[in-house]
């Protein structure tokens, strides 16, 4: 197990230290005769690695999930967070950093919790990106993450699961995006909804490619708590409030149970 940890540590040093070489390191299945694990095995959970973008000033949903899981197991699971307020580190690099920060050798299953969407939406609206461009970019980023994890089955002897959660819609249906104020530039409601649909399509693309590794977290409960509601779960169009953190935690828990 120590040797496995050393291998992944070396991967982290190379990947992070040089911002990865062109084409990616240990990424593509044929590049170094990498063998992919046939499936994400189960089931005792040892750790949660939270990556992507922070959902609020104090992102707490992963800790809430941990407390719920801890109720049914003997040893508490470990949670590490490498999500960023504005993501500048790739998801795969965040995953390496998160893995390397775990304090115990990995013997059991690992959950990778991914929240994304805010930066992608801001960029799509600011640069007037097409729906296909957004879909392709996000699909590529998520694919790189899953392929990196799957290409080293020895690092995860009991498997892993990637849970994907797109930041929930802060407005109802086709409500006026002007409610978002300065959160987005060059925004129209139609363009926002198009970019959001692109994110959801990217999620589905990756789940279709890797059904043994990927689960999509359903956040439909947020539709009753948008900015138009008095019991809103949002601070603004890019952040949720403590009630929203609890709602997101429940969504992750439900996805894990299913």
Domains of the chain, with CATH numbers? 5-9+35-257 (3.40.50.1110)
Q: 196 pLDDT exceeds 90?
A: yes
Q: Which is higher by pLDDT, 18 or 149?
A: 149
Return the pLDDT at 228: 87
Which of residues 73 and 60 earns the better pLDDT score? 60
Q: Is the pLDDT of residue 84 over 60?
A: yes
Give the C-alpha distances (Å, rounded to integers) separating 105 from 35, 118, 201.
22, 33, 36
pLDDT confidence of 238, banded at 50, 70, 90?
very high
CA–CA separation, 71 vs 74, rounded Å?
8
Mean pLDDT of the chain: 83
| Residue 197 DSSP class | H
pLDDT at 188: 85
Calpha distance 256→45 (Å, rounded): 11
Spatial separation of the C-alpha atoms in residues 219 and 13, rounded to whole Å? 35
Of 40-44, 152-156, 227-231, which gets the smallest average pLDDT?
40-44
Element (H, E) at 109: strand 109-116
Tens of pLDDT, residues 24-34: 333 333 222 33
DSSP letter for 84, please.
Answer: B
Q: Residues 184, 192: contact at Cβ < 8 Å?
A: yes
Contacting residues for 25 by C-beta, under 8 A, at least 6 apart: 11, 14, 15
The pLDDT confidence band at residue 174, using thresholds 50, 70 and 90, is low
Q: Which residues contact 88 (CB under 8 A, 6 or more apart)?
A: none
d(CA 174, CA 36): 42
Closest CA to 47 of 110, 4, 115: 110
The answer, yes or no, to whether residue 180 has pLDDT greater than 90, is no
């Amino acid at each position: 197990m120590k040797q496995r940890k050393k291998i992944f540590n070396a991967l982290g040093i190379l990947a992070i230290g040089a911002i990865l070489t062109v084409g990616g390191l240990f990424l593509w299945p044929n590049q170094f005769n990498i063998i992919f694990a046939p499936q994400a095995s189960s089931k005792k959970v040892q750790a949660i690695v939270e990556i992507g973008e922070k959902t609020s000033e104090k992102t707490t949903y992963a800790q809430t999930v941990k407390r719920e899981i801890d109720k049914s197991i003997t040893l508490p699971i470990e949670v590490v967070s490498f999500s960023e307020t504005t993501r500048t580190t790739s998801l795969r690099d965040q995953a390496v950093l998160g893995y390397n920060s775990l304090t115990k050798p990995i013997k059991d299953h690992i959950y990778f919790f991914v929240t994304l969407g805010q930066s992608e939406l801001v960029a799509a609206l600011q640069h007037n990106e097409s729906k296909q461009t957004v879909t392709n970019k996000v699909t590529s980023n998520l694919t790189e993450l899953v392929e990196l994890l799957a290409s080293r089955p020895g690092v995860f002897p009991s498997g892993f699961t990637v849970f994907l959660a797109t930041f929930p819609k802060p407005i109802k249906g086709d409500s006026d995006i002007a409610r978002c104020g300065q959160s987005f530039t060059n925004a129209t409601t139609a363009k926002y909804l198009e970019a959001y649909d692109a994110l959801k399509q990217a999620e589905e693309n990756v789940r279709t490619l890797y059904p043994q590794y990927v689960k999509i977290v359903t956040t439909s409960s947020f539709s009753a708590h948008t900015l138009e509601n008095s019991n809103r779960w949002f601070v603004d169009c890019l952040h949720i409030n403590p009630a929203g953190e609890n709602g997101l935690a429940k969504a992750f828990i439900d996805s894990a149970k299913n």
